[in-house]
Structure formats: C-alpha cells, structure tokens
Structure 1
Amino acid sequence: MIYGIGTDICDIRRIRETFERRGVRFAEKVLGPHELTVFHDRYQRVPARGIAYLATRFSAKEAFSKAIGMGMRMPMTWRDCEVVKAPSGKPGLRLHNALATWFEAKGLTAHVTVTDETDYAAAFVVVETRE
C-alpha cells in the first residue's frame, strides 16, 4: 500500500550559485558520507558533473521528505538520507540514525528515481508499507 509520494524539480543553476557562495560547506550540509565521496570525485574530474550530482541528491531528499510527509524536520535530515546506486545502476535510498529507526519502525520501503538535464534535476519517490 502506498504511504506517500513525493516529487521535486531543482534548478541546477541555483545549486551552482549556492555552491559558489558557500563552497564545499553546502555539499557537506546536503550530502551523506558516501555521497560526499562521489561528489568530490565527480567535481574534481568535471565540476559541472559534480554540481549536477549535488542537485539530483538535493532533489531526491526533498522528494523523499514529501513522500514521508515530514518536510525537513526531525527525524528527517539531509545527511541521514543518502541516494545510492545498486550495481545495476538503479538508484535506492540508504537511511541512517534516527531516520532509519523511524522508517523501519513504520515498516516502510522506498523507491526513488532521479534525472538531470542541462538546467534541471528532478526526483520522484514512492514510499510503501511493507504489509
């Protein structure tokens, strides 16, 4: 049964401008540990790819917060929700700390997809009950 659905679209130019103003602190606020590693690797090779990666993760976390009906308030935090890839390339969510505990206690599971184009990143999340 569907618990919630969330979608978000993000202007990559706005993410780039914020990153230029705030620097790596912005990425450290939004990205979890695994995501930060991927971000730094992509940004070093091609800065535009790093910024697009940051934007897709920002969008996915916004969509997830909408799907669980909380917005950005506890236990939902930026860093405790990570978008990870399966070996097949399929995106998934890895939750940490209080968010993971809350999610598991509710018996929920999530599906996520992300995409980006030149100026925009978008994400769609469906959260279901496991019963």
Structure 2
Amino acid sequence: MSVIGVGIDVAEIERFGAALERTPGLLDRVFLPSEQRLPSGEARGIASLAARFAAKEALAKALGAPPGLLWSDAEVYVEDSGRPRLRVTGTVAARAAELGVTSWHISLSHDAGVASAVVIAEG
C-alpha cells in the first residue's frame, strides 16, 4: 500500500460554535444525524463537532479538494474501542475510487480551544 493523499485541518472551537448558532441549517448540511449524536455537555459536543468538521476538510484535502464533494457523503464515527473512522459514499467514494483509495487513517483532537484532524488516504 502507498499513501495517495494526506490532509490536515484545524477549527477554532468557539468560532465554529458561533457559526452553528448563526447559521442553524449548517448542522444538518455538514453532519449526518449519526454524527450529531455526540457526548453530553454542550462544550464537549461542540468540540467534537468541530473536530469532525476539521476531519471532513482534511478528507477533502487528502482527495485533492475537487469541486462537487458533498459533506453528507463522508461520515466520521467512533468504534466501540474509541478509534475514529471514516465511512464514505457518493461523491466522496467516487473520488476515492478514481484515485485508488482503499483505506483511511484518521486522527482527531481538541484542546486549548482548537480542534484538529489528520486524514491519510491509502491505496
């Protein structure tokens, strides 16, 4: 296997939370219902959403940031073990197939007011 693409992104948690408040439809436009069910506590939930947003941005970068990718065609979920994973469909799966991506590696973090994510596409 070889690395096909790497993406990294950061999101300021407070700014991201303000964007969600300012634009109510943003939550449903960017996140699937499964992604919206996060840990209890508003601050913790916003930080987790910001990390997932950063992951979707990092995913797009790993794929070369082509136009036409849909936010809803990428899902960030967490296994029972706590390991984050990606599930791709539609436009994102099509671009990944075009590039020969067969597996994903993802890392999420949030601390000191910043959420970050790294995505590695491998094929």
Percent identity over paired residues: 35
Match of 1:70 among 61, 65, 70: 65
Unaligned runs of 5+ in 1: none
Shift of 1:98: 2.9
Deviations 1:93-112 (A, max 9, x none): 00122322342354312110
TM-score with structure 2 setting the length: 0.88
SS at match of 1:111: strand
Output the aligned Cα RMSD: 1.6
Deviations 1:37-56 (A, max 9, x none): x14xx4xx411122112101
User: 2:10 aligned with 1:15, yes or no?
Assistant: no
TM-score with structure 1 setting the length: 0.83
User: 2:56 aligned with 1:55, yes or no?
Assistant: no
**Which residue does 1:115 correspond to in 2?**
109
**Which residue does 1:87 correspond to in 2?**
80
**Which residue does 2:31 correspond to in 1?**
31
Aligned residue-pair number: 121
